Chain A
């Protein structure tokens, strides 16, 4: 009968294998669900076996209370939120992971202070870095969550922000170095964690607009790395492997996303979206916005040969995806060729729109990526933009002073007609004026995307 010193590591090893296998499964839509189930089994196994981990000697009751209460709360909240709110839920749960890694570091460092645990300098260094990264991921993710949830202003800037950020970050490292030299006293630890948390907040507050998904992905990668470092400190290889696998995968994903926007990551983090807000507001928008009513728009689309639908966050907010699919089916039955064009960062995350369209039942083969469909706009009769803004703003091509200049966009302005469904006249999430709305071939269709879609459906039906 093998002892615990065999069973515990063996179970962690099995968990690590299953995590990688599960993540691999998630790289294809066909195997994604079974991959996720295997990863779930791994998690359950790892948690159960930890109750008999040799280092665990007490506090079982508290452990159970924490596990059960957090699980019930997280499960309940993840279950009730609307699909459109998923991005901020990822931010929230990711932040919790980062916070957990930071808290683990705090306990370990307190143990070092009381002399119960001794760490060689390397371990202490890894523990401290894990603490910084975890804290930044924690407070940064919570700010991202609050922004997406609409609980706080979209972007908040003040003069000398970069300098303040730098000072806070350097101060965090300095206190870290102090801990490294003098040992972790409670007061130093308090200052250390407080500074790291403030750094996470300061980095995130100025970031807004289409940059948000990139930042969430970055914090996801950071939490992974922090978890990996904690695995080293606690000598649990399963944590090291799972953490670093996620850290590496997340870093690559973040880069792919930044690349999709044609902005280097440093640009996303430090130069900030909407830095040129004031200039852009006074930008070269000439002409006026021309509106159209739903009946006329319906006629235009019903007699078109080719329609391309470009969904954006507005569709998500209005939960309009089902109505849009109904409209698509109606138009298709009249012989109109309808396809969907999805910008890599449309919505609040890459793939956000794909998820929603999939929910409504739109088949994959009608949905196209930016590179595949951009050449088709000049031969398209109607481009229907639903609550998308920055990703269709021609300023990215035309106006070198615009903060989004150089970002690849969907060239809807090249279509013969462009109809934009929008809630009101204001600028979008990023606060940048959209030149598209002032083009001669653009018509604005104001209203909630779901109601407008319904009006378009009735309009097309009325044509018989």
Chain B
């Protein structure tokens, strides 16, 4: 990929990341950390691509590990975040009562 375009993408993504969470209340810091942990689980896609290209045993083994770890990141990150947010929902209800 053209280096400058990549640099622009990185720059814009960095500002997006900062803006998106800038005014988050402390109460959401942990769920947010967990949520962003889930989002970088997208690395599983990269793992699938390299495993899909792998030919030698070494490449296949390492590629398999990449997919395995990436999928664990995505799924585990999702479930942990979901469980945290479940609790906030119940507390909202209590507040209304």
Contacts and interface: CB of A to CB of B under 8 A. Distances in A.
A234 to B, nearest CB: 5
For chain A, give the interface size range. Answer: 35 or more
Interface stretch (A245-253, A293-301, A330-338, A388-396): A245-253
Contact of A70 (B38, B39, B50, B72): B72
A234 B46 contact: yes
Contact of A89 (B14, B18, B59, B80): B80
B71 A227 contact: no
Interface string B84-97: 11111111101100
Contacts of B3: 122
Question: Which has the most chain A C-beta neighbours within 10 Å: B50, B84, B85?
Answer: B50
Question: Which has the most chain A C-beta neighbours within 10 Å: B22, B45, B53, B58?
Answer: B45
B52 A58 contact: yes
B58 A186 contact: yes
A364 interface: yes
Nearest to B34: A90
Interface residues of B, number: 83
Interface in B15-58: 15-18, 20-24, 26-56, 58
A201 B21 CA distance: 29
Interface in A207-257: 216-217, 220, 223-224, 226-228, 230-232, 234-250, 252-253, 256-257
Nearest to B65: A103
A75 B75 contact: yes
Given A228-B10, A236-B45, A355-B30, A66 B39 contact: no
Contact of B29 (A24, A232, A257): A257
A67 B71 contact: yes
Contacts of B15: 248
Nearest to B27: A354
Contacts of B56: 110, 114
Interface in A36-68: 36, 39-40, 43, 46-47, 50-51, 53, 55-60, 62-63, 65-67
A87 B80 CA distance: 9
Nearest to B91: A358
Contacts of A260: 26
B74 to A, nearest CB: 6
Nearest to A86: B80
Contacts of B9: 237, 240-241, 244
A83 interface: yes
B66 A97 contact: no
B71 to A, nearest CB: 4
B41 A57 contact: no
Contact of B48 (A51, A86, A94): A51
Contacts of A75: 75-76, 79
A446 B46 CA distance: 52
Contact of A78 (B10, B41, B52, B79): B79
A440 interface: no
B51 A63 contact: yes
Contact of A227 (B40, B88, B90): B40
A93 B46 contact: no
A351 interface: yes
B55 to A, nearest CB: 8
Contact of A86 (B6, B13, B34, B73): B34
B81 to A, nearest CB: 6
Contact of B42 (A90, A243, A349): A243
A63 B20 contact: no
Contacts of A67: 44, 48, 67, 71
Nearest to B86: A33
B75 A220 contact: no
A4 B65 CA distance: 27
A43 B87 CA distance: 23
Contacts of A245: 13-14, 16-17, 20, 36, 39
B43 A355 contact: no
A217 B34 CA distance: 9
A286 B16 CA distance: 52
A200 interface: no
A68 B28 CA distance: 31
Interface in A165-195: 186
B49 to A, nearest CB: 5
Interface of B: 1, 3, 6, 9-10, 13-18, 20-24, 26-56, 58-60, 62-92, 94-95
Given A227-B43, A245-B36, 6 more contacts: A23-B17, A27-B23, A36-B78, A67-B48, A100-B73, A111-B53
14 contacts: A29-B92, A32-B35, A33-B82, A33-B85, A53-B48, A53-B52, A63-B48, A71-B72, A71-B74, A96-B72, A97-B69, A107-B53, A245-B17, A354-B26
